[in-house]
Structure formats: C-alpha cells, structure tokens
Amino acid sequence: MSSDLEKEFEEYWTDRIPGLLEYSRIILNSNTDLSFILNIFLKDKGQCKIIDMGTGVGTLAIELALMGHEVHAMDNNPKMIDAARELANEFGVEVRFIEGDILDPDIPEQKYDVVVARNCLWNLTEPSKAYTSWKKLLKPGG
C-alpha cells in the first residue's frame, strides 16, 4: 500500500475514534450478542490466550478480557492503541496492546490458542497474506 494511502487510512480512522469509543462503551455496557457469540465459539476451550488483529479501539479485545481470557491486541494506528488502552482501563481489564503491522506481525510464532479479527479485513489489500501470517501465530490445535 502506498504511504499516501496508508496516511489517508490512518487519518480516516483516527478521526472516528470519539464515535468508535462511544459505540464501544454502549456495546461493552450492555447485554449484547457479542459475548453470546464469543461463548459459542470459545465454549469447551477454557481460558484462552487470544490475539485480536486490527483491534481499533479494542472493543473485541476488552470483551474477551472481561470473559476471563488472556488477550493481546494489535493495530498499526498508535492513536487507536492509545484509545484502546484508555477504554480497557475504564473497564478494569488487562489487555496487552501492541502497535504493529497485522499483515506481518513481529510476534513469536505458535503462541496463541485463538486469533480473531473483527472489522479490519475489508481494509486489507492482501487478506490472504494476513491469514497466512496469523496461522503461524496459532499453537498446535489452535
């Protein structure tokens, strides 16, 4: 992706942080389908080590942490990471936020039980590259 387009994407999402935080607070403070859906996929797994790729303001990562999972979350936008940390503190959960490239994450391989991504795939020019790199992050059986 060209640096001009990357800058445009970053500005687009940075400008939306206040609205995204407001939306996230509504979701995290209500009894939504998000935790119900997550429980369907994660039942019988116990406590998992999960990484949320393209976390944005951290809604999914925070929901997973509230459910008792160990959560790491990555985004390439430092302002999104700052907003996500603020939101996690507001909800009293610990999430390890990582600023980095979700297409080529600089993380030791085979570390996670689950890799999740919500609302970021449509922003990627090469989703298959992301899937390939994320698969390397999974533990055997993940």
Assess whether pLDDT exceeds 90 at residue 53: yes
Q: Between residues 93 and 45, which one has the greater pLDDT?
A: 93
Mean pLDDT, residues 80-86 taken together = 97
Give the confidence band of 29 by pLDDT, cuts at 50, 70, 90. Answer: confident
Q: What share of the chain is helix, strand, coil (3-state, %, to 5)?
A: 50, 15, 35
Angle between helices 3-15 and 78-90 (to 10 degrees): 30
Amino acid 62: pLDDT: 95
Amino acid 33: pLDDT: 63
Amino acid 141: pLDDT: 85
Q: How far apart are CA 48 and CA 33, in angstroms?
A: 20
Amino acid 34: pLDDT: 66
Give the confidence band of 43 by pLDDT, cuts at 50, 70, 90. Answer: low
Give the confidence band of 10 by pLDDT, cuts at 50, 70, 90. Answer: confident
| Domains of the chain: residue spans and CATH | 3-135 (3.40.50.150)
- Per cent of the chain over pLDDT 90 is 46
CA distances (Å), origin 119, targets 34, 42, 52, 90, 110:
13, 19, 11, 22, 24
